[in-house]
Each structure stands twice: as structure tokens, then as C-alpha cells.
Structure 1
Amino acid sequence: MVKWFDRTPRDVTRQLLRHHRVPVVGDRVLLQDVRPALVPFVGQALGLELDLVAKAGRVLQAAPSAEAQVALSEVVRILATRATAFARILEGEGVEAQDAMRPFADSTREFSKLIAGSDWYEELLAVHVVSGLLEDFFVAVVPGLPEDDQDAMLRALRGESAHPQLVKLLLAAIEQTPRLSDRLAVWGRRLVGDALLQMYLAVNGPDDAGRAVPSQQRLEPAFNDIVASHTRRMDELGLTA
């Protein structure tokens, strides 16, 4: 396993957020250099997306206002549509969705526990942060898939975005309760580290076999742009990443 991922999520996050630009040294690995196998790649993406659908559904149920419920119903619909698109890709490969997700079931279940917030606000931020990070990551890796499969995956990932609804809800919550800012900023940093571990599984598989990265020692800089995009999303909320 890459030494980077032997560190705690907090260690990983701290280092990545400290440097948004990494000098190019030699043949630096880019995410488009990754060559994942299609079925496990989509299977993990589907499992994670379904978990986000379930989380968004719980946030919807606990929403403090009818306006928030309406916005969150759109979030659930958008995430569920993406999950359906992933399932159809697997169907086109003649693979049952549950079979493709099964190798990642334990890691997805553990990830779900790690990103469980202590209240409605943290749960809402978790949906926003994790969906954004994973979308950016999967889009970056798509060029490494077989050419015939790239378009369908990009259509699934680049369809409707729940970003506007989530940002509006979070900004309203922070404006109403300014003291949330510090707590949500800390929670956002924690979420990044946990999401990065899921990205590692997408690159190398659940059992660390069949590695897809040509030079593991140079994997870390490849995630820099993903974290930089996350930082911009946090800045949009007035939260320090």
C-alpha cells in the first residue's frame, strides 16, 4: 500500500491543503494515467453514490423547513439519477449491480460511518463535500477507461448537479447561525481525508491487487487538483479549507 495512505485522513488532508500546487518532477503521474478496470470502477462509484442518496434522503427527512425539503428532494433525485446511470453501464457489460458493488461493500459501509455528521448541518455538508470530491475524482480518471466506455461514464457524472441546491442551503444555514462556520470548516477537512481513502480503492482495488498506477510513489500529487477544487467550494461557503 502507498505510504501516503498509511497516514490518518487528518494527516493526508493537512499535507494536501497546505500546498495547492505541486512542482512537476520527472514523469509525475496524472489521474488520467490511471487505468482502472471498468466494472470495479463503476461498481464502487455506484455503491458510493447509493450511499449518498441514502444520506441525502435522511437529511431531507430531518430538514427544518418546507423550503429545505423541496431543495433536498431535488438533491435526492439528481443523485439517484446518477446512480441509475451507473447501474445501466454495468447492465450493458452484462454485470449485476450488486455483484460489482460487493467487493467494496465493507469499505463503503465503513466510509458511511466515518462521514456521519453529529447533526443535520454536518450531514448536509457531508453530502456536499463528498459528492463534489468524488465527482471530480471520477471525472479525472475516466480518460483511463476503455474509449468505448468513457462517454457513458462522463454523461452520468456530468449530468445535473446538486451543487446549487446544496450551496444555497448551507449558505442560508451559516447566515442564520454564524457560529456554525468554525465547526463546519473543521468537519469539511475531516471529510476530505476519508474521501481520499475511497479514491485509493478506486485506483488500486479493494484488495490492493492489480495496481492501476504506473508509479505509486508519485500518486500523491495527482490528487492535488481534486483538493484544490474542494478548497474553492469551501471558499464559496465562506469556510476555510
Structure 2
Amino acid sequence: MTFQTSRRSLLAQSAAILGFAFLPQARAAASWSSEAFERARPIERAVIAHPFLKALADGTISRDKILWYLAQNAGYLRNYAASLSRACAKLENPEDRALLAQWIKDTAGTETWTLDLLQKFSGGRDTTPFMRLRPTTLFYASWEAKASEEGTASEAWAALLPCFTMYEVAGRFIAGHIRKENPYREWLSAYGDPAYSKTVESAVALADRLARKETPEGRARMTENYLTSCRLEWALWDAAERLEDWPV
């Protein structure tokens, strides 16, 4: 795997796979993921209806919003890699630890790639003002850090999973709605990697394996962690749309 398996597949994975319900399909009726994904459907619908994604797909998005998003995403990724490391240390299975170790490397590569895009699209502007973490970015990163530090392995992974699943939601939406005259088409089209869905399946399968060892109470905590992070994924898109900054 290369770092395309992580957040690089940010906006498009499989243009050929289109539909309304974009989250990975329910595995087995009794699986944790089938229950959690069903609970997350309203958040999914809110994500694909968000004006930021629509403007990104049709190419009408402002340059400042692109720069805001890329800068904040780079900062988020730096923190996400640290949370992945904490979650990895909680895993008992060597194969699962190896999987997360690869995703940690992928995330670091994605951060570098995102910063390169930031400079490419800056047009020579000083991007330093965009780099300071905004309230939503900082809260999301802090929430994942707390979940990965204080939660069980399953609770930690449930909180980190939306980085995979909700970006598949956004990616498939963009892939199905991108316009030919979009000035960012070359960038967005580069993410059209069908292999990303396999990566998401692996991430979901890990969550289900961990959930099978949990009590009903533990599964419920996993679901709440998952839903919280899904909501924060939406919040990050929304903050980009608003060009969120510190009020003082």
C-alpha cells in the first residue's frame, strides 16, 4: 500500500460506484459496523448535501477556502498520525498492529502531499495565516487524541474510523459530480483510486473484529465515539465553508 490508502483518497475513490448511500455496505446483520453505519446515515446525508463539497465538485469554490482546507487538513493529519500510534499500541494482534503501522506511514506521506498542494494552489501567497489550527480542527484532533489515549482499543479505533469512511462518502460524491471545467479537476481526478474502498473495508473489518470482543456497553461506547467523529468530519467541511477563524 502507498499513502493513497489514507486521507489522500480524500475526494474520489471509484467514479464507477455511485449511489445515495455511500458508506460501506452493512457486513452482517449482527456486526457492529452495520448498526453504527445505520445510525450514521443522517450525518452522511448532511455531508453530501454540504455546499463546500458541491462547490468543490463544480469548481466554483473560492481559492481561500481551498487554502484553508488544505492547511487545516495538513495540521489535522499530523495529529491523526499521533492518535493512530496510540491506538496501534493498544492492539494485541500483530497483524492489526502492522496494518496501523502502515497507515501511520501513509498519513505522514499524505500530510507532505497536502502541503505540496497548498503551495501549488497558493499562487505565491503566504500561506502561514492558514496554518494556525482553527477551533474545529483543534477540537477534532483533541477529541481523537483523548479517545485514543483513554479508550480501549475498540473505542479508540471507532473514534478514528470516520477518517476512512466519511471521506469515502465525500469522495464518491465528488467523483460523481465533478464538472469538466473544474479548475481543480486534475487534482481531484488524481484521487480516483478504486483501491481505497478495499482500504476502507480493512479498516471497518478491524472495527468489527474488535467489537466482537466487547460487551454490549463497550459496543455502545464504540458507536458513540464513531458518531462523534462522523459529526466532526461534517464540522470540518463546514468550518472550511465558513473560513472559520478564532474570534479574538
What TM-score, normalized to structure 2?
A: 0.60
Which of these residues, 47, 51, 55, is aligned with residue 79 of structure 2? 51
How far apart, in 2, do the equivalents of 1:110 and 1:20 lie? 20
- DSSP-derived class of the 2:116 partner: helix
- Aligned-pair identity (%): 11
* 2:140–2:229 CA contact under 8 A, matched in 1: no
Partner of 2:208: 171
Cα offset, 1:188, TM superposition: 1.8
Counterpart Cα distance in 1 of 2:191 and 2:221: 33
Does residue 125 of the first structure (1) align with residue 149 of the second (2)?
no
- Structure 1 distance, partners of 2:90, 2:126, is 29
Secondary structure in 2 matching 1:104: coil
* Structure 1 runs not aligned, ≥5 long: 1-14, 23-27, 210-241
The two structures, once aligned, show a CA RMSD in angstroms of: 3.8
**1:165 partner letter:** S
State the one-letter code of the partner of 2:182.
Answer: E
Note the alpha carbon deviations across 1:117-152, whole angstroms, 9 max, x for none: 1412222112211333245336756948x8343322
Aligned residues: 189
Q: Match for residue 31 of structure 1? A: 53
What per-residue deviation string (whole Å, max 9, x for no partner) do you get for residues 66-103 of structure 1? 22211111221232332222122123246699726524
- Return structure 1 stretches of 4+ with deviation > 4 angstroms: 15-22, 94-98, 138-144, 156-160
User: Per-residue CA shift, 1:147-179, capped at 9, x if unaligned?
Assistant: 343322443584863423322221211223353
| Greater shift in the superposed pair: 198-207 or 126-135 | 126-135
Q: Give structure 2 stretches of 5+ with no counterpart.
A: 1-38
Conserved in 2, the CA contact under 8 Å of 1:86 and 1:153?
A: no
Check the 8 A contact 1:75/1:165 in 2, yes or no: no
Task: Please tell me whether residue 200 in structure 1 is matched to residue 222 in structure 2.
Answer: no
Tell me the TM-score normalised to structure 1 length: 0.61
* 1:230-241 matches, cutoff 5 A: none
Code of the aligned partner of 2:169:
D
Indicate how the Cα distance of structure 1 residues 31 and 148 shifts in structure 2: closer, same or farther if over 3 A, else same.
closer
Kindly report which structure 2 residues correspond to 1:1-241, keeping only aligned pairs within 5 A, or say none: 17=41, 31-33=53-55, 35-37=61-63, 38-93=66-121, 99=128, 101-115=130-144, 116-117=146-147, 118-119=150-151, 120-134=153-167, 136-137=169-170, 140=173, 143=178, 147-156=182-191, 158=193, 161=196, 162-179=199-216, 180-207=218-245
Shift in alpha-carbon separation, 1:176–1:46, aligned structure 2, 3 A = same
Q: Is the 8 A contact 2:73 2:114 kept in 1?
A: yes
